[in-house]
Structure 1
């Protein structure tokens, strides 16, 4: 039997960085690496287990017998066990058998740095490499310009396991999905795809938010290189890729990170900080240097090795507050008596500083639902350093408003206008995500009130309002064609609905709104600045009408937007305009091609020298029912 040979990929500098929490490429050292030592090919294994009494590598190459391949602990108090085992090849299955120093309990753990895992419910790690010939040079070289905050950013959120299914409801592979997904996203005009967590997870109903393989794309859909090919094809089509990243918590599955070496290694030892009551999962110890290095290395890994263009960070609010989902007595204040988790704050700042310093043209996006200040402001000004933050308040208020019958909307006008009081305090992304279409909340389309015509008119209005409101956009799959049923992670989207005109009309609305967003600088150049927005009239609650201007760098490209939130056609509706010229309709959500009534202001409308709304000029318009109209000014 081939025994373990002493060997190390670590230098003293590596160890010092690791102990200090500043080693941001730990995946190049820890884990299983196919290498050659003295002319012999095999695998170098390294795992962090500081309180272990012994660590053995078990696998299909030694019949899972622990005593055959025992690793050696390093002399430098790093807690790293390592060794080279000859003749092991790519594809070998393995785990670490760890005996605890504290109580003698022995556990079998998957490799935290495994590049590839067995398909669940199996739990072994797989020796692998990441060799791949990328063909996305054009995208990567131009990404800095195309992925900037002053560019269009329209995101299609995808759960790969339920976007499309094969015969007998089987999962389709990365390779089977890639071409269809690229074609569809290109056709509908989204600028980015966001994948719900793609890292290995044991439990399908978690949707991927309970990770056990932080460095491995799930094997449900194929090999790591297959996922690379999917990203490569998206990039070649000019589509960016955002990965959902979950540094907030992890499950306590026996083969996972929990109680890894017989101690609270990755999770915080204090249950008030180390256990998440909502998700029955464990919480990382953000104050431990080695854990911070693990997490930041993981973020770097996906950007470096999989060419991801951004990370959407899940559940940031749960990380920031010590009392999140905890009752009185279940949490302990910080050293200043506050509820903020100071370790998390410094971790998130460091994470963002590392990402933005090392990768041109990437963005980090925080799912953060509270009023925590300066989430998307640079760390040198005291912010957390994210590029964007989800605008959860806008999402909740807007959906709450739209679910009301139109006759009552005049009493809730402030639910629409309130967002503009804080719209520029952060770099906001407007999300209609997966969370809004599950657990009895209904699909976005089914939230809309009224008969069938009104439901779809409301949906077109909702999306038109979303795309003309300041901020970037995110839409969960199925919402773009008006899926009626709630999202079911166990089956495909209801693609058959596209045979019906109303659903086809919604898809065309989204396609045209994406094109409008990308072609009109006024909608994106100042999407995070108050300079990019001006109210014309926000106080017509009686008619439930809003009118506003979106502005870019060139005033000649400004747009006038009018929203009519009732089904009443408003004739001779006058709005103030700041300068003379003509209004030309460039988008109308009531167009017949979308399933609307086709009411329109045809041709060029003359802007008159009649003062109105505090402006020197004005125009008289027809407002179609339940509609958004966008005008250029010439």
Structure 2
């Protein structure tokens, strides 16, 4: 193959082509505030022919582009360092074409030589191959209607019910992955039928090890090629938007793998990661930790976040493992970490990055959401940065998840001793903007399935799970449920196959699936269940201390003055409770709009024959009350109406 040399013009400028980086770009890059480095660095095909390349490798002694068009010859197309001290090497190839595979051959000091994938590559070879591909991102979008209305769908007072899924193991065809386009149609149809408002993908950022589920990312600008091209992923998002479904991405700025072709020891030095393993190595995941104090690394991560929102129209980012970023001693023993400049364990550089991330995201895209997976009591995670918060839109409520599952695992005969676990979440429910998440983390690594955690025989297990979901959907906070949990998959999630779809045809599983569908319908239709999730005004206890009968009762209220309140009652023992009296805020008819024990959901059919009338008998500090039949292991919801 004939080899073409890179054309190099005057300093800072390619021959006949504009500079990859302007002086202003370099300033922002080195300041740590550049949010669009993907438009400047990496590989960019040119309209006529060839492509331009730019890579940050400040400590390299030489860099060249090696690819299938030049026979992987490191002498064929060397890059030139910019004279401005930015550490960027750049150049142009006249023969690189769309689809060609390439890497950067990097020579460092001391004889270090390595071939690296492009940190800003937008498309990679299918793993286990590790090269980057010359590619462009043109696509004709058809989601204008969704984008116009997106702020309403993602608002804090909107119904947000998220279906979390893993692209490689949701469904398969003859044991093979579905592509992005196949997934788009199958998933949109199912999610729409089930009534979820959003989907959240486990990371589809390129990752070499499939078993990491995407959490060991090497391609921070590339959707994994396992399921198709960048345009195929755009089609996936586009189609879901056209069906009225939002799309969130799990994004991992907390650590990256040590694979040779990736970011680790990029130019023969610890460029992206801390050099000291007490700061730069993650003992829990055997991975590297970004050097959040390095400005260029901050620009890299900020650009990655904005890239997914801009180029792929994503509706938000769920930021993984935020706690591991906030604490210098996370996962470490005494003496294995370095205190900050004040002697504390807080990672001040990571805190600054997270705040800048949220400022940048909401400044550029105020109609999206950022959600933190933060497992500690760090204050003000979802409060504005100008108030001293981290600036996230919402935060996963990990305490609610742990306490609720611990309670539900108890045999009902013992639950009266543990009711405080279930009610404790309301002590702090409005300190943050919470998402109640029953995620993939609860159904892997030997933890079993959600239905398998429930005590009793099969009937009681499913009744318990329906009661749990009813309580979850009625509890203040947005909702997230991992795939398979909606129909009670029996085995824990395994990424090497598809879900146990065959069990969804069994009566108990099908009943649970219909119940989740009904939950989502009621949740979306009743403003009281979603409008005031993050304020005391949307919630009121009626009964939170009946440990003897293990019954909870509360009101959910919407924004509008005088709007009908919803009465939610949970009976968490297998004993039905006839004539259970509860004080209510108004006389009139209370219509039963949801009953987890209905026969259509696999229940026994206990209930209130469509509703009850409040009578002027005082109870629970209110001048009127209702007498209810509480089904066994159930959640029921009643809506106040002036007349039957």
TM-score bracket, shorter-length normalisation: over 0.9
Query: What's the offset of the Cα at 1:361?
Result: 1.2
CA distance in 1: counterparts of 2:489 and 2:161, whole angstroms: 19
Matched, 1:572 2:611: no
CA distance in 2: counterparts of 1:445 and 1:84, whole angstroms: 57
Aligned residues: 629
Q: Which residue of 1 aligns with 2:11?
A: none
The answer to whether the 8 Å contact 1:249/1:284 transfers is yes
CA distance in 2: counterparts of 1:23 and 1:366, whole angstroms: 22
Equivalent residues in 2 for 1:165-180, closer than 5 Å? 165-167=172-174, 169-180=175-186
CA distance in 2: counterparts of 1:499 and 1:363, whole angstroms: 35
1:163 alignment partner, SS class: coil
Matched, 1:69 2:80: no
The answer to whether the 8 Å contact 2:63/2:104 transfers is yes
- RMSD (Å) for aligned C-alpha atoms: 0.8
**Counterpart pick for 1:408 among 398, 405, 414:** 414
**Counterpart pick for 2:404 among 392, 395, 398:** 398
1:511 alignment partner, SS class: helix
Q: Which residue of 1 aligns with 2:367?
A: 361
Deviation string, structure 1 residues 572-631 (Cα, Å, up to 9, x no partner)? 100011222211100000000000011110144111111111111111111000111100
Matched, 1:348 2:339: no
**Counterpart pick for 2:145 among 125, 138, 145:** 138
Q: Which residue of 2 aligns with 1:528?
A: 534
Query: What's the offset of the Cα at 1:556?
Result: 2.3
The answer to whether the 8 Å contact 2:81/2:87 transfers is yes
Q: Which residue of 1 aligns with 2:640?
A: 633
Deviation string, structure 1 residues 241-280 (Cα, Å, up to 9, x no partner)? 0000000000000000000001111001221111100000
CA distance in 1: counterparts of 2:610 and 2:77, whole angstroms: 80
2:20 alignment partner, SS class: coil
Matched, 1:266 2:284: no
Deviation string, structure 1 residues 331-376 (Cα, Å, up to 9, x no partner)? 1111112111000111000000000010031000000000000000
The answer to whether the 8 Å contact 1:521/1:557 transfers is no
The answer to whether the 8 Å contact 2:466/2:512 transfers is yes
Matched, 1:44 2:46: no
Q: Which residue of 2 aligns with 1:82?
A: 90
Query: What's the offset of the Cα at 1:482?
Result: 0.4
Deviation string, structure 1 residues 165-201 (Cα, Å, up to 9, x no partner)? 111x111211222111010000000000000000100
Q: Which residue of 2 aligns with 1:206?
A: 212
The answer to whether the 8 Å contact 2:20/2:90 transfers is no
Query: What's the offset of the Cα at 1:24?
Result: 0.5
Query: What's the offset of the Cα at 1:460?
Result: 0.5
2:262 alignment partner, SS class: coil
Matched, 1:20 2:28: no
CA distance in 2: counterparts of 1:48 and 1:5, whole angstroms: 19
Q: Which residue of 1 aligns with 2:126?
A: 119
Query: What's the offset of the Cα at 1:420?
Result: 0.4
Deviation string, structure 1 residues 398-417 (Cα, Å, up to 9, x no partner)? 00111111101001000101
Q: Which residue of 1 aligns with 2:4?
A: 2
Matched, 1:282 2:288: yes
Q: Which residue of 2 aligns with 1:34?
A: 45
**Counterpart pick for 1:250 among 256, 259, 262:** 256
**Counterpart pick for 2:622 among 609, 615, 618:** 615
The answer to whether the 8 Å contact 1:556/1:633 transfers is no
Query: What's the offset of the Cα at 1:133?
Result: 0.4
* Stretch moving more, 141-150 or 366-375: 141-150
Equivalent residues in 2 for 1:364-513, closer than 5 Å? 364-513=370-519
CA distance in 2: counterparts of 1:595 and 1:568, whole angstroms: 17
CA distance in 1: counterparts of 2:69 and 2:585, whole angstroms: 76
The answer to whether the 8 Å contact 1:365/1:386 transfers is yes
1:55 alignment partner, SS class: strand
Q: Which residue of 1 aligns with 2:106?
A: 98
Structure 1: where are the runs of 5+ without partners? none
CA distance in 2: counterparts of 1:499 and 1:364, whole angstroms: 36
CA distance in 2: counterparts of 1:51 and 1:426, whole angstroms: 43
2:49 alignment partner, SS class: strand
Normalization by structure 2: what TM-score? 0.97
CA distance in 1: counterparts of 2:557 and 2:139, whole angstroms: 43
CA distance in 1: counterparts of 2:579 and 2:592, whole angstroms: 16
Q: Which residue of 1 aligns with 2:548?
A: 542
CA distance in 2: counterparts of 1:605 and 1:280, whole angstroms: 59
Query: What's the offset of the Cα at 1:143?
Result: 0.3
CA distance in 1: counterparts of 2:635 and 2:515, whole angstroms: 11
1:56 alignment partner, SS class: strand
1:68 alignment partner, SS class: coil
Equivalent residues in 2 for 1:573-588, closer than 5 Å? 573-588=580-595
The answer to whether the 8 Å contact 1:520/1:557 transfers is no
CA distance in 1: counterparts of 2:565 and 2:343, whole angstroms: 49
Query: What's the offset of the Cα at 1:87?
Result: 2.3
The answer to whether the 8 Å contact 2:557/2:563 transfers is no
CA distance in 1: counterparts of 2:33 and 2:451, whole angstroms: 47
The answer to whether the 8 Å contact 1:143/1:360 transfers is no
Q: Which runs of at least 4 in structure 1 moved beyond 3 Å after TM superposition?
A: none
Normalization by structure 1: what TM-score? 0.98
2:46 alignment partner, SS class: strand
2:463 alignment partner, SS class: helix
The answer to whether the 8 Å contact 1:433/1:476 transfers is yes
CA distance in 2: counterparts of 1:295 and 1:413, whole angstroms: 43
The answer to whether the 8 Å contact 2:611/2:638 transfers is no
